[in-house]
Amino acid sequence: MKFTVLGSSGFIGSHVAALAAHNGHAVECPSRDENLFGRSLGHIIYCIGLTADFRSRPHETVQAHVSKLQDILTQTQFESLVYLSSTRVYSRCPLENPVYESTPTAAVSQDSGDLYNLSKLLGESLALGHGPHVKVARLSNVVGPDLASSNFLTSVIRESLHAGHVQLQTSLDSSKDYIHVNDVADLLLRLGPEGQSQIYNVSSGRPLSHRELLSELTRLTGSTFDVAGNASVIRFPRIDIQRIEAEFDFSPLNVIDCLPEIVQAHQSESEKAA
């Protein structure tokens, strides 16, 4: 099979491209500005997007999540396309109920923090309207040896190794759903050719509290932690993953078990830079 990975220079895209090549597929990794007009791209994995910096780059966020996608949908040929969305679209759903792919989502246009969700939902709608060969993958917090990321886990590991102490701005009772990038890459390559549905929650299905996470990081790094006095509790609804479990016999890696590998990657990078 032929796969075209858009956004292959990013953390997720680079892992998808590497796994596709390892599995013996033909892989194309065009640059973001490369002219793709009229080309046949096989199975597309659309990994283009912004994350932590979307608030300061709203126009680039819409360009990445919507405008570039529209160009791909209307100007190229493909067998399937997997659009990477986010479980953040469930952030305004009630905490007491699990969220499914069919769960209605909400956003508030005057809240700048919702720009990300609104742009992802517009991208989803645009993609899904193109036909059943287009799939949406709603990803939770993807982790692995992502040394350049500014996400919560990477930031905590980096600070614990460099400073030996981390002060949290969110409560130990806060939690997130983490999924390892190896699980994500494998699923993304299968969704387009094999998926029977159009929207998939790509998550572990198990929220991991800051308390659990930091207990293991303390053991691995020897760092100390404390919590700011005004720390808030940040939680999201539990993400249901029955669809990927049923269709792909999916059993997620335990992120706690993966932490030694992730910490070791950061330690090796620190040693190189020293």
pLDDT in tens, the chain (274 residues): 999 999 999 999 999 999 999 999 999 999 988 999 999 999 999 999 987 788 889 999 999 999 999 999 999 999 999 999 999 999 999 999 999 999 999 999 999 889 999 999 999 999 999 999 999 999 999 999 888 777 889 899 999 998 899 999 999 999 999 999 999 999 999 999 999 999 999 999 999 999 999 999 999 999 999 999 889 999 999 999 999 999 999 999 999 999 999 999 988 877 776 5
- In this prediction, residue 54 carries a pLDDT of 84
Tokens of 243: 């669809």
Q: Are 139 and 10 in contact (CB under 8 A)?
A: no
Q: What is the domain count for the chain?
A: 1
Q: CA quadruple 137, 142, 155, 162: dihedral positive or negative?
A: negative
Looking at residue 274, what is its pLDDT?
Answer: 59
**What is the distance in angstroms between the CA of the first residue and the CA of the last residue of the chain?**
43
pLDDT of residue 52: 73
pLDDT at 273: 65
Q: Are 74 and 216 in contact (CB under 8 A)?
A: no
Identify the bridge partners of residue 86 per DSSP, sorted by sequence position.
139
Which pTM value belongs to this model? 0.95
Region of 144 on the Ramachandran plot (φ > 0 left; ψ -120 to 50 alpha; else beta): left
Look up the CATH number of the domain holding residue 11: 3.40.50.720
State how far the Cα of 135 lies from the Cα of 122, in Å rounded to an integer.
14
C-alpha Rg value of the chain to the nearest Å: 19
Q: What is the reported pLDDT for 268?
A: 86
Using alpha carbons, select from 13, 19, 59 the residue that is nearest to residue 32.
13
Residue 125 confidence (pLDDT)? 97
Containing structural domain, residue 219:
2-273
